[in-house]
């Protein structure tokens, strides 16, 4: 099931929080949603799940409205901020209660507690849960009844390193093997970099990038590590070419777009500078921070 947001706006009072958001979450893919604190990630997810209404614009799930698909509890599962539970009940009882309301098999509860690693704490009351355990329970709730779409707002926040890897692998498999559509936000950008097919960057309520990681890397003026034999000649070349760089001994970190690399190599050869190694410095976190800061400074918004 794909999800399309068209010109979605959200205002709280007079304050514009989400500004003409156009977003496409392709079916069966993992969409990593990133942005600084207050950029509008949670608000977007709340609108997607109907926790708060849009002020204007449309949201479609495979062409259908939220009202149309909401009747089907298998359409999507969501994990948004800290969900609340009956604290005096166990994790099992909380989830079993939901299953009874939905008239769905209670046996499903064991499955989801198992995949989030809470099987051993089944009989513990939620009031005795650690923060990470509550997060895991929230995920179990999202996975309940095996929904087609997962909308997950910072799902690994507060999990231990083992839990982070488990959930990351789980989400990857759910998407790649079972074809689930996953919309996920996280401040752990390296983590999203590993599993996302599509990256969306939101800045002050506006999309500033949407596309594949490959496109982002290629378009954002990646830096490349270049190892050469002659530091002095290389420095002279970079200064003449007005390329920004950092240097440590004969290792240069050069900011240049991919399409300009062949020309640079030709020129280095012409100047008799030997290149031992050139490698792309692929780092989503760096690119994200560059975009975030750049947009802040220029207040532009060239969403693709």
Ligand X SMILES: Nc1ncnc2c1ncn2[C@@H]1O[C@H](COP(=O)(O)OP(=O)(O)OP(=O)(O)O)[C@@H](O)[C@H]1O
Residues that bind ligand X (CB under 6 A): 12, 17, 35, 37-43
37 binds, among Mg ion, ligand X, none (CB under 5 to 8 A by kind): ligand X
For Mg ion, the closer of residues 42 and 181 by Cβ is 42
Which three-class secondary structure state does DSSP give residue 12? strand
Give the three-class secondary structure for 179.
coil
177/80 Cα distance (integer angstroms): 24
**Closest CB to ligand X among 53 and 161?**
53
For Mg ion, give the closer residue by CB, 94 or 196: 196
Size of interface with Mg ion, in residues (CB under 5 A): 2
Give least dist CB 44 to ligand X, A. 7
Query: Cβ of residue 84: shortest distance to ligand X, in angstroms?
Result: 16
Least separation in angstroms between residue 288's CB and ligand X is 13
Taking the least distance from each CB to ligand X, the nearer of 126 and 202 is 202
Q: Which is nearer to ligand X, 186 or 223 (CB)?
A: 186
Sequence-separated (6 or more) residues with CB below 8 Å from residue 8:
18, 20, 21, 22, 23, 44, 47, 54, 56, 57, 58, 59
Residue listed under structure tokens 């997962």 = 150
Neighbouring-strand partners of residue 6: 58
17 binds, among Mg ion, ligand X, none (CB under 5 to 8 A by kind): ligand X
**How far apart (Å, rounded) are the C-alpha atoms in residues 143 and 111?**
9
Residue 97, helix vs strand vs coil: helix
Beta carbon of residue 12, minimum distance to ligand X (angstroms, whole number): 3
Spatial distance between the Cα atoms of 63 and 77, rounded to a whole number of angstroms: 18
Spatial separation of the C-alpha atoms in residues 90 and 58, rounded to whole Å:
39
Site membership for Mg ion, residue 42 (CB under 5 A): yes
Q: Of these partners, ligand X, Mg ion, none, which one is at the site of residue 40 (CB under 5 to 8 Å by kind)?
A: ligand X
Choose from ligand X, Mg ion, none: what does 294 bind? Cβ within 5-8 Å by kind: none
> What is the distance between the alpha carbons of residues 38 and 203, in angstroms, rounded to a whole number?
9
> Would you say 42 or 94 has its CB closer to ligand X?
42
Using rule CB under 5 A, residue 156 touches Mg ion:
no
CB of 138 to ligand X, least distance (A): 15
CA angle 71, 72, 75 (to 5 degrees): 125
Applying CB under 5 A, the span of 42-50, 71-79, 105-113, 115-123 interacting with Mg ion comes to: 42-50
Q: Is 189 helix (H, G, I), strand (E, B) or coil?
A: helix
Q: Residue 186, interface with Mg ion (CB under 5 A)?
A: no
Residues that bind Mg ion (CB under 5 A): 41-42
């Amino acid at each position: 099931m794909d999800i399309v947001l068209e010109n979605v706006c959200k205002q709280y009072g007079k304050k514009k929080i989400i500004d003409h958001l156009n977003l496409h979450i392709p079916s069966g893919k993992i969409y990593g949603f990133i942005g600084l604190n207050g950029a509008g990630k949670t608000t977007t997810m709340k609108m997607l799940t109907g926790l708060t209404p849009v002020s204007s614009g449309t949201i479609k799930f495979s062409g259908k409205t939220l009202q149309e698909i909401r009747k089907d509890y298998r359409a999507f599962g969501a994990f948004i901020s800290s969900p609340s539970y009956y604290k005096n009940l166990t994790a099992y009882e909380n989830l079993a209660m939901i299953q009874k309301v939905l008239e769905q098999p209670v046996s499903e509860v064991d499955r989801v507690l198992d995949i989030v690693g809470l099987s051993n704490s089944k009989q513990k009351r939620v009031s005795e849960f650690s923060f990470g355990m509550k997060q895991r329970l929230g995920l179990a709730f999202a996975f309940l009844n095996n929904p087609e779409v997962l909308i997950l707002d910072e799902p690994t926040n507060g999990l231990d390193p083992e839990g982070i890897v488990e959930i990351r692998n789980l989400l990857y498999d759910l998407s790649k093997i079972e074809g689930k559509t996953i919309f996920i936000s996280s401040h752990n950008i390296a983590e999203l970099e590993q599993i996302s097919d599509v990256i969306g960057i939101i800045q002050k309520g506006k999309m500033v990038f949407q596309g594949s990681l490959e496109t982002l890397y290629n378009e954002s003026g990646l830096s490349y590590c270049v190892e050469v034999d002659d530091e002095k000649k290389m420095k002279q070349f970079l200064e003449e070419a007005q390329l920004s760089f950092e240097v440590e001994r004969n290792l240069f970190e050069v900011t240049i777009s991919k399409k300009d690399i062949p020309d640079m190599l030709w020129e280095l050869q012409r100047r008799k500078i030997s290149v031992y190694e050139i490698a792309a410095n692929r780092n989503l976190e760096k690119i994200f921070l560059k975009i975030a800061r750049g947009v802040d400074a220029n207040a532009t918004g060239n969403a693709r």
